[in-house]
Structure 1
């Protein structure tokens, strides 16, 4: 009877230790995947310079007109007005 109880305690300890190791592995794996995802996300977002005010903005937020980058539609309109020849 005592041997059965000892085996049961050893089994329970090994089970909980294995469960703890599995959770640690899963957390490490999720952290690693998150870091790789963050790195790939940062690489794809290039910075461009506004042709009017020279401020750098992410390419995804910038406006492009006639091959030039702009941080806002107001700066785009001002830049294009200055580029047009006076009639």
Structure 2
């Protein structure tokens, strides 16, 4: 189970499966482009989580275990791409 303070993007419990898949794919692309081989394990988990919600917590843990600079790049890019139009 994912704590409510960590439930963002594809890890939110209140989104439909199609939206979750889209957000996981967006995040996976960002991870791939931002981290290269350092993020390969995370990218694989995100791909598998498209079909198995039980892999969401391990994917979030893998994201949290990235080096600080990689995390900042991934989070900043995800936010920039998914910011609601005001």
TM-score bin (small chain)? under 0.3
Give me the TM-score of the superposition, normalised by structure 1. Answer: 0.24
Q: Which has a greater percent of strand?
A: 1
Q: Which has a greater percent of helix?
A: 2
Give me the TM-score of the superposition, normalised by structure 2. Answer: 0.25
